[in-house]
């Protein structure tokens, strides 16, 4: 019964284009932040910490949006 419910929910999540984008958006943001930090494009310590904090907060908001849209 649990496996049927999980399959149904995954199918519903992947059906909508906007939800698919929101599922991968935090991963893309994390990759962008890692790229910026790895290539030293953020020169000051303050800018680097601010960018990481904003990416972490945006990822949390995005997962909240996914949960809201799935209800």
Cβ neighbours for 42, distance < 8 A, ≥ 6 positions apart: 36, 48, 51
- DSSP string covering 11-47, please? HHHHHSHHHHHHHHHHHHHHHHHHHHHHTT-S-SHHH
Look up residue 35 and give its two tokens: 């790229």
Q: Note the pLDDT tens digit of each residue in 4-63.
A: 988 988 888 788 787 777 778 777 877 887 787 778 776 777 777 887 788 778 777 877
pLDDT reported for residue 6: 87
The number of angstroms, rounded, from the C-alpha of 30 to the middle of its chain's C-alpha atoms is: 8
Look at the block and give the residue holding tokens 């939800």.
Answer: 19
């Amino acid at each position: 019964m649990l496996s049927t419910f999980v399959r149904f929910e995954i199918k519903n999540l992947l059906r909508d284009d906007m939800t698919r984008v929101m599922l991968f958006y935090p991963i893309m943001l994390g990759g962008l932040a890692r790229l910026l930090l790895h290539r030293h494009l953020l020169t000051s310590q303050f800018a680097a910490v601010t960018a990481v904090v904003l990416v972490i907060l945006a990822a949390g908001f995005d997962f909240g949006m996914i949960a809201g849209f799935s209800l």
